[in-house]
Amino acid sequence: MASQSHSLSYVGSNFLRQRIVLATLSGRPVKIRKIRAKEDNPGLRDFEANFIRLIDKITNGSRIEINQTGTSLYYQPGLLYGGSLEHDCSLSRSIGYYLESLLCLAPFMKNSLRIVLRGITNDQVDPSVDVLKATSLPLLKRFGIDGEELELKITRRGMPPKGGGEVIFSCPIKKALKPIQYIDPGKIKRIRGMAYTVRVSPQIANRIVESARSILNKFLPDIYIYTDHMKGSSSGKSPGFGLSLVAETINGTFFSAELASNPQGQGTVVLPEDLGSNCAKLLLEEIYRGGCVDSTNQTLVLLLMTLGQQDVSKVLLGPLSPYTIEFLRHLRSFFQVMFKIETKSPGEERKGGEKVLMTCVGVGFSNLSKTVR
């Protein structure tokens, strides 16, 4: 993709990751001004500065200028380089915050990416590593990004506030993406889950599983929730527990839900039984929303459709999140791509809430960074 020289200008700290990721892929510089300019503590937060450092690591030749107060950022993207890297994530956001963007960028690097990320693996804010592994990786495979190199492995779990987790993410590179026609999610065939405990009694995981099953068993017999009790050096630095659930359909669609306990010393104590049943209800809500991609991966599927070959791609989604709506605006700004959006009301065929059919023609993005063999 030829670099387009004129920069795009934005105000405020919202959607910083979207803007940096799309600038990197499109080659267009961005200026972001007045970042929390009116707040008592103005400028970039530590996790945002850390994210920009990560982008600098995976690219070659990027120019990043931040003013003294951190309220203004200029980013001129370089080439996505990749390779074998390590990165310590900020403890105020989980590894999932960084991984969401890496999933968008990794297939388009010069060298296949293998990165070790350290920090918090599961919290209450960002998608956990478990959910991204179960839902995002199968989505990449639909676009032809697959192979043994595509892997997301948890070597240590880390709960807030102190983290101590470690994850290895590796992804192959791709010259061009396949267009997709993904409009039939299919019926749910099974539910899988992971109840994890870190520096607390392993019995807690069993209590979580029991309460989640008590709700889900009413709908489906094929349910298996694993327990994962990390001990010793693999258990991070803070105690905690949680549950991630994934429902899979006959057509390979995945819906996810997750909950984690409150960080040590913060908020009220969460009972394992409540956490298990609430997480099961969240999964049922996600299934009701429906579509072929769950709400966590809406932006990823729309980005990959945009970057696909110059052919029509279609996907059926549940209600669009505000984050996704802003992402569509950004795709128009950076790539001049507009989606056709058709509302599909629930009927005999489509159970659950209202759906939207998203259609676009890919820009024919070609990975110019990829080494020609």
pLDDT value at position 6? Answer: 81
Give the DSSP letter string of 221-241. S-EEEEEEEE-GGGG-SS-EE
Q: What is the pLDDT of residues 222-244, one digit of tens each?
A: 999 999 998 888 888 999 999 99
The answer to whether 228 touches 206, Cβ cutoff 8 Å, is no
In the chain, how many domains are there?
Answer: 1
Report pTM: 0.94
pLDDT at 349: 54
Strands 73-76 and 63-66 come out as antiparallel
Residue 259 lies in a domain: yes
List Cβ neighbours of 38 (8 Å cut-off, separation of 6 or more): none
129 found inside a domain: no
Burial environment of residue 172 by CB neighbours within 10 A (0 to 12, 13 to 18, 19 or more): middle
Separation of first and last alpha carbons in the chain = 19
Predicted pLDDT of residue 312: 96
Q: How far is CA 141 from CA 75, 252, 324, in A?
A: 31, 11, 21
CA nearest 189: which of 218, 226, 222?
222
Q: Is residue 43 part of a domain?
A: no
Q: Could you tell me if residue 262 is inside a domain?
A: yes
Residue 100 lies in a domain: no
Q: Can you give the pLDDT at residue 83?
A: 95
Q: What is the pLDDT of residue 372?
A: 44
Indicate which CATH number applies to the domain containing 285: 3.30.360.20
Residue 235 structural domain: 188-289
Those residues whose C-beta lies under 8 Å from the C-beta of residue 60, and which sit 6 or more positions away, are 78, 79, 80, 81, 110
Q: What is d(CA 326, CA 320) in angstroms, rounded to the nearest whole number?
A: 10
What phi-psi label fits residue 158: left (phi over 0), alpha (psi between -120 and 50 degrees) or beta?
beta
Residue indicated by tokens 């993709």: 1
User: Is 79 within the bounds of a domain?
Assistant: no
pLDDT at 368: 61
| Enclosing H/E stretch for 298 | helix 298-306
Strand partners, 317: 291, 356
Confidence (pLDDT) at 373: 39
Kindly report the three-state secondary structure assignment for every residue of 312-343: EEEEEECCCCHHHHHHHHHHHHHHCCCCEEEE
Separation CA 187–CA 329 (nearest Å): 32
| 320 located within any domain | no
In a domain, 144, yes or no: no
What does the pLDDT read at residue 307?
96
* Parallel, antiparallel or unpaired: strands 8-11 and 30-33: parallel
Q: By three-state DSSP, how is residue 19 classified? A: helix
* Residues of the chain falling short of pLDDT 50: 1-4, 348, 371-373
Give residue for tokens 């779990």: 157
Q: Provide the 10 A C-beta neighbour count for residue 148.
A: 7
